[in-house]
Structure 1
Amino acid sequence: MGSTLLILTLVFVVCLIINVPIAISLAIAALTVVLIEGTIPVSFLIQATFTSNDSFALLAVPFFILAGELMSTGGISKRLIDFFRSLVGSWTGSLGLITILASLIFAAISGSGAATVASIGGIMIPHMLKGGYKAPYAAALSASAGALGPIIPPSLVFIFYGIMAGVSISDMFIAGIVPGLLIAVTLIIINYIVCKKEGIVDVQSAEDKKSFWKALNEAKFALLTPVIILGGIYGGIVTPTEAAVLAVVYSLIVSLFIYKELKFSDLMDVFLRTTITSGTVMIFVGTATFFGRVLTLEQIPQFVANSISELTTSPIMVLLLINLFLLVVGMFIETVAAILIFIPILLPIVIPLGIDPLHFGMVVCFNLTIGLLTPPLGLNLFIGAKVANVKFESTFKYLTPMLIALLILLGIITYVPEITLFLPELLAK
């Protein structure tokens, strides 16, 4: 048992060191064990990879990715920003506040942290730089606001966790509302403190000013998007997968025929970007499923669970150890890949301790979301730094208090399960 785990780990780490893509590294590591052990047929790789993608729930992933691409290209994100600008006006840190609020709404459309940073940050960072914000702070704030993407429903990360853990995806969406809002409020407070300290008072130029009612009228179809998506899911009208299709249809109609910023000639590029992103994710799903099934057949999750049980049986300590482990994992492995790899290992550890899988899912997803801000991976941070045209190291001064605040929130969510379970239990009555 121990030797099998050692082989898996060594092969996987070596593959990563020599820059083999994570998805392929997973397949090579698991296939090495299969060939050495000789008890599992090699054809199991093909079978596991194919059947893992043959899932109705997984159809939501490419559709939500497509919806995010359409809304980003079709002018929806721009109108969201104009609306919040008219709502907020000119005061201390208002451009930062607009960035957070627009990211909150866009996250409720795209379900992706990287998409949120690229879309909202791509528009707001130049405005913040023009308004006197330091480039490292603008990059750090946009990257941190992008952390709302995987937590505010609908979330691609929640979809993958729900599939891997056998938890209701709709319940995961509902459970993410309060933690997502807590992230937004925390960032708003930090933004105000930083801008107050640095004396940043945003004054809108004449061309930027719009009356609230005019901005609301222009943004009404954009603001209706999350209402339609989430309302359809929580109202029991559509499943998350059907909601993703609905989001695509709605965003196509709005972008093509109402805002008219998306041309038919642009669709091929949108579909191509979506296909590349979705294909990459689905390869992850296939090879990670094969990896996970090999782990299960070799009884490695039970081995790890027993090893941890020998150290401690306290749920408090187990959750602490898992959080520390995942914080390190998030620095090196992309969020979806980490969920696909480690949920089959970690879930058998926490369920016997009486930890609710729904609550544990929020802990895992929130934890790995922090990895979007921490190098060497730090996808959100790198996107924000690239848009602001600064080195990502220069953002650490401003990123540090945001990370500390998010870690405190992680601790609260970990040990106060009611924050996660309150809304699902209330709506279930």
Structure 2
Amino acid sequence: MVATVLFTSLVLFLILNVPVGIAIGLASAAAALAAEALSPNYISQQLIAGTDSFPIMAIPLFILAGDLMGAGGVSRRILDVANVFFGRVTGGLAIVTVAVCMFFAAVSGSGPATVAAVGSMVIPTMLEKGYSKSFTLALVATAGSIGVIIPPSIPMVIFGVATGTSISNMFMAGIVPGFLIGFALMGWSYIYAKKAGIAGIEGNFDCRVAAKLMWEAKWALLNPVIILGGIYAGIFTPTEAAAVAAVYALLCGLVFYREISFSQLLKTVARSCSTTGTTMVILGCATAFAKILTIEQIPVQVADLMTTISDNPIIILMIINVLLLFVGCVMDTTPAILVLSPILFPVATSMGVDPIHFGIIMVVNLAIGFITPPLGINLFVAARVGNAQLGTVVRGIIPFVAIMIVLLLIISYIPPVSIGIFSLLGR
């Protein structure tokens, strides 16, 4: 009865276009009223408990860091450095776009933030060089999704909090899959440019120019070294790393590059606060939702149902992947992780899937959700930045979705791609 009320009301509120966080909260409240064991104050208690966590503090700090880096000239300098090394290759500007998105991902942890920061710089230039608008916007949207796979990653923080999995280990396991996706996108960019006859920039490589650009970008290039190096060296936790990232981004914008004015700083902080507020409402409501799932033993029932279908881990992973791909089309990453991880995590681990490996599978699945309609937020951001209709982006996204799904299958069924790094490090 309670489970029926929970899911029926959630679907109803989503159909009525109620914001996702509010819809989850209202569905949880309806289920709490239907359950005799839960008090009326249950939802408000969970709203507080769901956000009262030290690891969750990393989320607003990484959001702020990403916004400050976009406003402070960090992304532009990274683009200049990438262009001097890769720009002469066939399809060089597209390859540079992917490389910059990968680098920006290592400091922002956010897919939409990566699309907005990088897209605003590269889209006009790519169009001038002869790239089609649909390919350009689709490439930026897809490359931006790497922002949630290459560490640090906000969805990985959320998954770690929701399942009790080590966030540091999640970050480490995301490195190889993130680079694998990045290299695949570079390869497709080369093939596209070769067919379209788009050459790289003219001129020979100049060591002095490269050295000068790298020196000018030294503070930007040091950013991921400080953040990721500090985490893996045990100097600070992922949450503390988020604070370091925010402070360092502020220093880059105000002191090193001096490109953020006081008024820009206020607007940037306000934008980050708005994003954080939305995220925290979703987190609190989803915590209540997950608790009700646990009380009603829904994860156990789902696990039993799946094992009646098959006890083969390959089949179970395929079912989970199909479910997550569908959910990614209609639900944002944060609520999807918070709602589904309590259900699917016990199922996967009972089949012998490593918890870290499953976390990477879930994050990659939902990263594909960034570029699949109707909800794909990266598509909307790319269309807005490129001043185009959503249909223009969707027309170019099909080959990129196909590439991402192939890579998802590789990551799902070849565990060393994600967790093999622990063997190399003797962990």
TM-score after normalising by structure 2: 0.97
How far is the alpha carbon of 1:242 from its aligned partner?
0.7
> SS of the counterpart of 2:425?
helix
> Deviation string for 1:176-220 (max 9, x for gaps)?
000000001100000000111111113369xxx991111111111
> Deviation string for 1:26-55 (max 9, x for gaps)?
111121121122221111111111011111
Q: Which residue of 2 aligns with 1:375?
A: 373
> Deviation string for 1:340-361 (max 9, x for gaps)?
0100111121222111111000
Q: Which of residues 175, 178, 187 is equivalent to 1:177? A: 175
Q: Which residue of 1 aligns with 2:130?
A: 132
- State which drifts further: 254-263 or 287-296: 254-263
How far is the alpha carbon of 1:145 from its aligned partner?
0.5
- State which drifts further: 193-202 or 359-368: 193-202
Q: Which residue of 2 aligns with 1:282?
A: 280
Q: Which of residues 384, 387, 390 is equivalent to 1:389? A: 387
How far is the alpha carbon of 1:89 from its aligned partner?
3.3
How far is the alpha carbon of 1:337 from its aligned partner?
1.0
Runs (4+) of structure 1 moved beyond 4 Å?
none
> Deviation string for 1:211-255 (max 9, x for gaps)?
111111111110100000000000111100111111111111121
Q: Which of residues 4, 15, 18 is equivalent to 2:16? A: 18
Q: Which residue of 2 aligns with 1:219?
A: 217
Q: Which of residues 37, 43, 57 is equivalent to 1:45? A: 43
> SS of the counterpart of 1:82?
helix
Cα separation, 1, equivalents of 2:422 and 2:240? 20
Cα separation, 2, equivalents of 1:428 and 1:270? 42
Please, which runs of 5 or more residues in structure 2 have no aligned partner? Answer: none
> SS of the counterpart of 2:18?
coil
Q: Does 1:146 align with 2:141?
A: no
Cα separation, 2, equivalents of 1:37 and 1:203? 65
Residues 256 and 262, structure 1, Cα contact 8 Å, conserved in 2: yes
> Deviation string for 1:368-401 (max 9, x for gaps)?
1000000000111121122222222233443212
- State which drifts further: 89-98 or 285-294: 89-98
- State which drifts further: 250-259 or 136-145: 250-259
How far is the alpha carbon of 1:298 from its aligned partner?
1.2
Cα separation, 1, equivalents of 2:170 and 2:425? 13
Cα separation, 2, equivalents of 1:31 and 1:156? 27
Cα separation, 2, equivalents of 1:255 and 1:45? 41
Q: Which residue of 2 aligns with 1:105?
A: 103
Q: Which residue of 2 aligns with 1:121?
A: 119
Cα separation, 2, equivalents of 1:397 and 1:49? 40
- State which drifts further: 321-330 or 124-133: 124-133
Q: Which residue of 2 aligns with 1:67?
A: 65
How far is the alpha carbon of 1:296 from its aligned partner?
0.8
**How does 1:9-408 map onto structure 2 within 5 Å?**
9-203=7-201, 211-408=209-406
Cα separation, 2, equivalents of 1:396 and 1:198? 20
Q: Which residue of 1 aligns with 2:421?
A: 423
Cα separation, 2, equivalents of 1:65 and 1:396? 27
How far is the alpha carbon of 1:127 from its aligned partner?
0.9
How far is the alpha carbon of 1:282 from its aligned partner?
0.7
Cα separation, 1, equivalents of 2:426 and 2:285? 35
Residues 382 and 393, structure 2, Cα contact 8 Å, conserved in 1: no
Cα separation, 1, equivalents of 2:225 and 2:200? 30
One-letter code aligned to 2:333: T
> SS of the counterpart of 1:373?
coil
One-letter code aligned to 1:373: I
How far is the alpha carbon of 1:428 from its aligned partner?
4.7
- State which drifts further: 246-255 or 145-154: 246-255
Residues 140 and 385, structure 1, Cα contact 8 Å, conserved in 2: no
Cα separation, 2, equivalents of 1:347 and 1:248? 31
One-letter code aligned to 1:116: T
TM-score after normalising by structure 1: 0.96
Residues 136 and 390, structure 1, Cα contact 8 Å, conserved in 2: no
Distance verdict in 2 for CA 1:147–1:326, change over 3 Å: same
Cα separation, 2, equivalents of 1:388 and 1:15? 32
> Deviation string for 1:310-357 (max 9, x for gaps)?
111111111100000010000000011100010011112122211111
Residues 43 and 288, structure 2, Cα contact 8 Å, conserved in 1: yes
Cα separation, 1, equivalents of 2:256 and 2:157? 30
One-letter code aligned to 2:82: F
One-letter code aligned to 2:154: L
How many residue pairs end up in the alignment? 425
Residues 81 and 98, structure 1, Cα contact 8 Å, conserved in 2: yes
- State which drifts further: 231-240 or 396-405: 396-405
- State which drifts further: 114-123 or 32-41: 32-41
Cα separation, 1, equivalents of 2:86 and 2:369? 30
